[in-house]
Structure formats: C-alpha cells, structure tokens
Amino acid sequence: MTMNTQGRPTAPESVSMSSIETVSGSRGLLQHEDLLFEIGTSETTGVDLPAPKGTKNRLGGVARKQPTGLPGLSEPQAVRHYMRLSQKNYAIDLGLFPLGSCTMKHNPRLNEKVARLPGFGDIHPLQPQATVQGALELIDELAMWLKTLTNMPAVAMSPKAGAHGEFCGMMAIRQALIARGEGETRKRVLVPESAHGTNPATAAQCGFIVDEIKANKRGRVDMDDLKAKLEKPDDIAGIMLTNPNTCGLFETDIKEIADLIHAAGGYFYCDGANFNAIVGRVRPGDLGVDAMHINLHKTFSTPHGGGGPGSGPTVLSEALAPYAPVPFVVKDADGMYRLVEDIEGDASESFGRMVAFHGQMGMFVRALTYILSHGADGLKQASEDAVLNANYIQARLKSVMTAPFEGYCMHEALFSDAFTAEGIETIDIAKALIDEGYHPMTMYFPLVVHGAMLIEPTESESKAELDRFCDALESIARRAAQGDEALKGAPYLAPMRRLDETKAARKPVLKWAEPELAPPVAAE
Ligand SMILES: *Cc1c(COP(=O)(O)O)cnc(C)c1O
C-alpha cells in the first residue's frame, strides 16, 4: 500500500482503476441516480390530504380523461433526488474552474448578502419609481464605475448577457450608419478568425456581412490582411475585436487598428469579455473603442450559468451614445432618479428597447458590491493577479505542453496538442482531468490553434491550488506525449464513463419515453 506524505494510505497499486465497477452504479459516496420518471410512480405522492368533500368538478367537458403520467415521489425521495444531482455538479465553490475565455471567478459571499437586503431583493420593476430611488441610484452608480473604468462617456445597462451586449453595440452602430444615410451601403464587418462565435453571429443577426481577418504568427490580427480588407472602405461598417483576444494575448496594434477603422468610416466594437485581465490598467476608451460589452458575470464576479443570469452592460463612445437603447436612468435637477422609457426627448435617436425592464438588478447589486469592496486599487490588483496566475500556469506547463505563441500571456494560458503522441487528442486530456477532480479546460477554442486547450485560473486561486492543478495536468500531458492508450478511455472514476459525443450531438435523446411503449434509443 502506498502512503501519501501525511501517512494516509492511497489506493493499492494492484487494483486498476478502470476495472472497478460497482453493483449499485454508485462510486465512492457519489450515489447513482435515475431519472425522476424512472424512480417515481403515479401512485406515490408527497402529501396526504383527504379528498375535499361536497365540491363539484366544474371542468365539465374539458376535464382530463387520461392520467397526466407525471411521476410522484415521497418527500425524502424528492430531497435525495435533487441532492444527488447537485453532487454531480462541478462548481466554482468546489474547485479550480480552468475554463478559458469564460472567467469563472469566485463569487464573494458579501455580494449575496447585499443582494438579499430587502430594499434590493424584495422590490418589483412595476413599483412606482419614487419608491425605488435607491435601486435607481445603484444602477446609476454602477454605470459611473463602468464608465470610469473604461473611460467611455455612456453605458447601456439593460443588456442581459455578453452576446446581448454585442447585439446592443452592433445595433447602435447600425443606427449610427442609418443616421449618416449609409445604412444600406456599409454592411461589411471585419471579425478576426480567432473571435468567439457570438461575434460573427451578432454581426449577421444585425444584418451585416462578416468578413474574416487572419491571425498572424504571433496570435494577433494580421495587419497586412486588415489593410488589404480596408483598401475599398466604402462598405465597411466596422470591426469586432476582442482584447485581450481569445488566444489570451493583448492586441498590441490596437490603436492603429482603431485609427484605420475610423479612417475607413467604420466603428470599433470591442468584445470586452476578457476585461478581467486589464481592469485598472487599460481603459478601452483610450484605445479608440466605440462600443464594448462588459460581462458582469465574468469580470465583476456575479454568478455564471446555472448560478445566475448574465448581465452585459455596454459602454458607448460619444459617436454612438445617442443611439443607446431605452430604458436608461437619468438624475433630474431635483435629485430624483427616473427611467427614460420612451423614444422621445433625451432618447429620440435610440435604436429601441432590448428588454422589458431595466436589466438584471440582482447582478447590478452584486457587481457594485464587488467593485466597492475592492476599490480602485483592489480591482487593479485582481487583474494583475489574474495575469500572474495564468503566466504561472503557462511557465509551469510549457516544458511538457506546447505553447503556440511566444512570450507572456494575459489572463489565460493557451496550449496546442502538438506535444501529444499520434492518436491522443485534446479531448483525451480533458477527460483525464475529470478523473483528477477538475472540470476540463476550454477545448478546441480558439479555432486558430490546433487542438487548443485554453486555461484561465483567475486571481483568487492560491499558488498551492495552481500547483495541485498543474501537477495533475502535467502528469496527464506526459502520458499524452508517451501515447498512453489508457487516456482514450478516461474518465474512469466519474459516474458516467466516456460518452459517444458524436451520437449525442447527431441523435440526441431529448425526451423520456415509457420503456415498454417506445424505448428511448436513437436509431443506429
Ligand atoms: C463569454 C464570451 C462572450 C459571450 O458572453 P455571454 O455572456 O456568454 O453571452 C463573447 N465573447 C467572448 C470572448 C466571451 O468569452
């Protein structure tokens, strides 16, 4: 038996992990759990109420003739079902979340405490505005911070995700072009080939034509290609550029790019999803940006995905500010805050409305709490630490994995699969990470790097945690370089083994069917 450094026994070497199968399907203390439809029955219920006496069914002809077929559970069964599912989830509160480009930051508990204050948590968007002055002031104060940190004159607070913010910025650009009388002629939007998929999708959704720009050997925009695209500038609407870009690199020519786009008569949309790397150090407004979304659920620590809704305030330059969407908050001379709701007066040139109300209030509260608890110096420190942590990972792993571009990275470290032996792919490394207790890194993105692995540790990970992660990934990388075939079967220790991803994508089984009626098996 092998012992760890503290004298605690680790797994006996004679047992191969891959051969362990259990009768119950559970692994360790992780319980196997079937679907609700498989464990529930129509006879079971969590409540036991007598049928009401003396009532008459008033449904008449519309009364249900067939049972609903919904499974019933007892209370303990229901509790265990969701508890078991929750334990299958990987979470930022559980371990390092290496997804790159997503900025999976720690969500401070103070954010949650403040968001639950009754004055923020228990208000309703249809309340009279005089009764929610504090909430409107909070939106205005967060807007002030976002404008200050980016050095931009205006911000649209209502977009509800990064992609929604892109939509906001590109609609503002479209409206500005229409106002110039060039809405029909300027249709071409330049998008680097390393861009996040939402960029070309947004441009297309707003009626633009996407024209791809190449990356150079340094992982940045190829300036020669850009200049060639601008030779005939009459149809240029603008550029959508991410900075730092999705290779984790700062676009060093960004000011020249902005100047070229402006000289061509276009606008500069900056994808701000990676703002976490530069807050307090670089102000996008100084770089010539016309519009940029800020993912509050990335840079400003509000929860992600299943943990909460996104929020994508979009800062706008002077040229685009008049076209901002309604509603927005203004402060009147008498000190009262007010939402401008209609396309008239202050908002007469607005491109319209994107959401029913004012945006994600709960996320505004959390983001401002994060900002105020850090202060200007703390925000800068967080960015610097995020960049330091990513460079630590790059430095620790680049002798065993392949870093495709030279030099330091920003907030995320990018590797290609060039170091792996024939037959071992990025996905095998990602699956082996699951056995080591980590959610996989971002895989196969950005597309400009073969078999890309993009790792973003964020600022709140300690050196000890980074080392633990690097130890695990380093050992997997060595096995990949040696062509260890066992990697192809990973994960071995997860409740679910390697899935057939092609089949899952091509023939997804999306609906449970009663086994005896129609087995839920997609056709071969
Ligand atoms: C996350 C991300 C987006 C989209 O943001 P969502 O909030 O997920 O809609 C766009 N671009 C980049 C580079 C991103 O990382």
What is the whole-number distance in angstroms between the Cα of residue 203 and the centre of ligand 1?
14
Atom of ligand 1 nearest to the CA of 195: 13
For residue 500, what pLDDT is reported? 87
Per-residue pLDDT reduced to its tens digit, 181-210: 999 999 999 999 999 999 999 999 999 999
Please tell me the distance from the alpha carbon of residue 306 to that of residue 440, in angstroms, as a whole number.
17
For tokens 């249709």, the residue is 187
Mean confidence (pLDDT) of the chain: 93
Q: What top-level class would CATH report for the domain 377-495?
A: alpha beta
493 CA → ligand 1 middle, Å? 31
Q: Is the CB of 238 under 6 A from ligand 1?
A: no
For residue 75, give both structure tokens.
């209370």
Strongest mean pLDDT among 17-31, 59-73, 90-104:
90-104
- The reported pLDDT for the residue numbered 212 is 97
pLDDT tens digits for range 372-408: 999 999 999 999 999 999 999 999 999 999 999 999 9
Longest dimension (CA), the chain: 84
pTM (2 decimals)?
A: 0.90
Domain 110-370, CATH number (from 3.40.50.2300, 3.40.640.10, 3.40.50.1860, 3.30.10.20): 3.40.640.10
Q: 292 C-alpha to center of ligand 1: Å?
A: 12
**In whole angstroms, what is the distance from residue 395 CA to residue 265 CA?**
42
Would the CB of 200 count as within 6 Å of ligand 1? no
Structural contact between residues 130 and 137, judged by C-beta atoms closer than 8 angstroms: no
Strand 267-271 with 291-293, pairing: parallel
> Which tens digit of pLDDT belongs to each residue from 336-351?
999 999 999 889 999 9
162 lines ligand 1 (CB under 6 A): yes
Give the Cα separation of 38 and 353 in Å (integer).
45
Query: pLDDT tens digit string along 52-94?
Result: 888 888 898 899 888 888 889 999 999 999 999 988 889 899 9
Tens of pLDDT, residues 199-241 = 999 999 999 999 999 999 999 999 999 999 999 999 999 999 9
> What's the rounded mean pLDDT across residues 103-109?
95
Q: Tokens for 468?
A: 């633990």
Determine the Cα–Cα distance for residues 298 and 276; give it in Å rounded to an integer: 7
Q: How far is the CA of 165 from the centre of ligand 1 (A)?
A: 9
Spans of all domains in the chain: 110-370, 377-495
Bridge-based pairing state of the strands 267-271 and 337-340: unpaired
For residue 24, give both structure tokens.
């119950």
Give the nearest ligand 1 atom to 163 CA: 9
Q: Where are the alpha helices (DSSP H) in 27-74?
A: 36-39
- In this structure, the residue with its CA closest to atom 6 of ligand 1 is 162
Q: Which atom in ligand 1 lies closest to the alpha carbon of residue 295?
A: 7
pLDDT-based confidence at residue 5 (cuts at 50, 70, 90): confident
- Atom of ligand 1 at shortest distance to CA of 246? 13
